[in-house]
Structure 1
Amino acid sequence: MSQEQQLLNAVDYVLSEAKRQGAEADVIVNGSNSFSLKANQGQLDEYKVSSSQVLGVRVVKDARVATSYSESLEHPSLDLMLTNALQSARFSKQDEHQAIRCVDSKITTEVAEIAQQDSASVDEKIELSLALEQGVVSRPHASSSPYNGYGDSETLSIIANTQGTLCQHFERAFHCYAYTLFEKDGKQSMAGKMSLGRRFDELDSTYCIEEGYNLARDLIDGAPVATGNYPAIFHINALSSLFGAFGSAFSGVSAMKGITPLGDKLGQRIASELITLTDAAFMPNGMAIASFDSEGFASQDNILIANGKLNTLLHNSQTASYLGVVSTASASRGAKSSLDVAANHRVIATGQSSASDVKAGKYLELVELQGVHSGADAVSGDFSFGASGFLCRDGQRVQPVRGITVAGNFYKMLQEVEAVGDTQLINDSRTFFAPDVRFARLSIGGK
């Protein structure tokens, strides 16, 4: 019997038992197989093959909700999981807004690009892994590649419920990465890059090696700039990290709990009119493509900010019911977690400014951020974290910058956008798409 059929049989069993015991339920199943390699001093340091499967259930009985999960598909284990959930539900608060609402949804993600065959041999993967480290350490002043590796995975997800919903998703992904530790004249600098793809031959090991090495080399002589306010442009990876740190601000769950300042600002201007931010279900070459959310509703594009005005937050059926709005089909729940919301691909729309206009005059290019999540407060919008980058003038790097602190307020920063570029860029994880965005001022703590 295939893994898929075993999972489907387990799903049917759990849902039948839940109904027999007078409860509504939905089930999330995640099955995965993964393979990873790492190199150290010219030898394989890690050769890892792993697989996992976990089934999680959410039960709703008498308007009381609880979750539980099992990593075994044997009936006694599934019975214990369901019993634990039903007993926990008896002691939970009643929640009229959380219910099994997705009825008879039958969706299978049918996007050919996310489920391509793995035609590469193990020897080819080992060769790539060793080449990543060797490519770094063969370069001048590159003392080591402390972090490097290759990996691939295949994931099967099933969403089903007692209302007749059954949705399935399968995808395959590949990645590789390499970091360079650059040492010269008693100084050290480290940087790295990652390449992701849907096929082995999409991986760009040269990009990982060269771009990581070049950045580490270029930052080696970095020093703090004078303390003050600077216009700033975040590298696409850094901009993705920044928006990720404040992702909960656009969450209907946060609005339901009263912990986002955007909860009562629908239709109001919260950003420069140059900013349009969308949660896109599908993006070409994106790594977060899915045809349905974690409740089984069909995924959709959601415009969060339209020309500076807040258009919607991200909602699942619970938050939509609680706040009296329409769901955005953004439910997110793992087999081991409770109901939440999440974006697929975050996309900032391109603007009208050319590269020369966006990068005119003096500004800071911020390429790496340290401690982003620990240094960000999504409620107040305040942030403070370490950063590295370059002081630039008219698109040219003038001097490397390290050892600075970047501080500001995310919500204020959104309103102080000077220019938005006309060319779309994509971050290394292929989940964030944005042009260059020039922010008018950030507070820099330097020398």
Structure 2
Amino acid sequence: MSEFDRLETLTQQLLAAARKAGAEQADAVALEAAAVSVDVRAGHLEHAERAEGVEIGLRVLIGGRQACVSASDRSQRTIEEMAARAVAMAREEAPVDDTLGLAEPGQLARDTDNSGLDLFDHGREPTPEELQELALRAEAAALAVDGISKIESSGASHSQRRMWLAATNGFSAGYGRSGHSLSTVAITGEGLAMERDWAGESRVHAADMPSPEEIGRLAAERTVARRGAKKPPTGAFPILYDERVASGLIGHLVSAVNGAAVARGASWLRDALGEQVLPKGFDLREDPHRPRYGSSRIFDAEGLATAPRLIVADGVLQGWTLDLATARKLEMESTASAMRGAGSPPSPGVTNLELTPGDRSAQELIREMGRGLIVTSMLGASINGTTGDYSRGAGGFWVENGEIAYPVNECTIAGNLRDMLLRLIAANDLHDWRSMRVPSLLVEGMTVAGE
């Protein structure tokens, strides 16, 4: 019996137990995962860990009520107990929501073959010793850069994950994913003058990974550039979000168009459908069918066929991100955006996003901004989901006369997201292999609180 056969059998056992316990509808998930991670420090192994296991999850629906349960034990007794507990929870504890329910059979994906997306690396799994060697090579490359005092951590990991989803509406399908990752955190200076930065990459296939030397060297170069960081002046200035953090800015827009927030009235874009939310010329596109990207998928967590779509076209908001329940609440159609874990119900989410790049380099935008802030790292956040008021801690580089003058830390940047997003200017530095492909973004007239 193959791995997928075992997972499929588990989901069918869960559905049978749910029907027997009195569920009107049910869906079940079986997940099998294994991961190995290795961390090194000062040329020696610091930590190694291997985790593996199977998790099963069941959702039952009865009279507009739902309940979810999960377990790591796969015995028939546990499966029957899960079903009985879920049905009891749905009947006695869950509130009524008439928008809950499985997809109709005619809504389900007909093509469930994920092989064309190439989401699983069938090459030999790396050994812990090989992962350690990759981490050591990255660490050595970082230490070789002048100005690096030590490496905080250097780590490599590999994972494999298989999933099967089945439901009483007849849907039954699964997929496998693999992942390789490598990262390094470097430190320059000592004591209160210490600064750190990092670099890291993740891929589905080992063949697509950059070399450990590239990652270690980039982490070190970023760190050395931060020597002597200080607070910037206070005032209203243009801010360039470096491509490392620009996706977070677009992420706030994505959160605001999530159907769950819109249905609650808790989104600062709740009345913006069909309105300008980005400057003209900007598209924000989701493509769940991008080969060899870790979040790609051909069907969603409710069994609906996924498809590329424009969230924003020429700056105008085209639609919300919806699963079945939020679509019914808003009297719309699902965008096949459901995601879920073993112990949670479906909720809307996005996969591979890409924002239209500009026609100028980030360096050209820096020259044009004259005086302002380049943000390369962020910490903490105060975001009002209803009004879009925005305040975040930031670090990066101060710009004078169109050139980087000195590194910056311990400052706060603030504005309103609706206004900020309408003033974006994009650079042309769109990077591959990101789940959110967003270039560096310049925003005029934000508030910087420093000295």
Q: If the TM-score is normalised by the length of the shorter chain, which range does it land in? A: over 0.9
Mean Cα displacement is larger for which, 242-251 or 156-165? 242-251
TM-score normalised by length of structure 2:
0.92
- Is residue 439 from structure 1 mapped to residue 440 from structure 2 by the alignment? no
* Residue among 120, 123, 128 paired with 1:118: 123
Gaps in structure 1 of 5+ consecutive residues: none
Counterpart of 2:373, as a letter, is: L
- Name 1:286's counterpart in structure 2: 293
**Offset of 1:131 from its aligned partner?**
2.1
The corresponding residue for 1:297 is 304
Q: Quick one: which of 371, 374, 378 aligns to 1:369? A: 378
Question: Are 2:10 and 1:10 aligned?
Answer: yes
Report percent identity of matched pairs. 21
Residues 272-324 of structure 1, C-alpha deviations (whole Å, 9 max, x = no match): 22432222213355331111111111112232222222111100011111111
Moved more, 324-333 or 19-28: 19-28
Deviation at 1:393, TM superposition (A): 5.8
- Whether contact under 8 Å (1:236, 1:434) holds in the other structure is yes
- Which of 271, 277, 282 pairs up with 2:278? 271
What amino acid does structure 2 have at the position aligned with 1:170? G
**What amino acid maps onto 2:435 in structure 1?**
T
Change (3 A) 1:9 1:344: same
CA contact (8 A) 1:356 1:394 kept: no
Matched residue, 2:165: 159
Alpha-carbon offset, residue 165 of structure 1: 0.3
**Following superposition of structure 1 onto structure 2, how do residues 43-442 of structure 1 map, counting pairs within 5 Å?**
43-91=44-92, 92-103=94-105, 105-106=109-110, 107-111=112-116, 113-119=118-124, 121-122=126-127, 123-183=129-189, 187-204=193-210, 205-245=212-252, 247-283=254-290, 286-353=293-360, 358-359=365-366, 360-362=368-370, 363-371=372-380, 374-392=381-399, 396-417=403-424, 419-426=425-432, 430-442=434-446
Does the residue aligned with 2:276 lie in a helix, a strand or coil? coil
Which amino acid is 1:93 matched to? P
* 8 A contact 2:293–2:435 mirrored in 1: yes
| 379-388 or 317-326, which deviates more | 379-388
Amino acid at match of 2:167: N
State the alpha-carbon separation in 2 of the partners of residues 182 and 357 from structure 1.
Answer: 29
CA distance in 1, matches of 2:46, 2:167: 43
The whole-number CA distance in structure 1 between the counterparts of 2:172 and 2:5 is: 13
Deviation at residue 182 of structure 1 after TM alignment: 0.9
Count how many residue pairs are aligned between Structure 1 and Structure 2.
442
Any idea what SS the aligned residue of 1:146 has? strand
Find the aligned partners of 2:120 and 2:251 in 1 and give their Cα distance: 26
Question: Bigger CA drift: 293-302 or 96-105?
Answer: 96-105
Aligned residues of 1:35 and 1:153 also touching (Cα < 8 A): yes
Change (3 A) 1:93 1:390: same
Per the TM alignment, residue 120 of structure 1 is displaced from its structure 2 partner at its CA by: 5.8
Take 2:123 and 2:447, find their aligned partners in 1: how far apart are those partners? 48
CA root-mean-square deviation: 2.2
Contact 1:270 1:414 in 2 (8 A): yes
Taking structure 1 as the reference length, the TM-score comes to 0.92
SS of the equivalent of 2:382 reads coil
SS in 2 for 1:291: coil
When residues 113 and 344 of structure 1 are mapped into structure 2, their CA distance, relative to the original with a 3 A threshold, is same
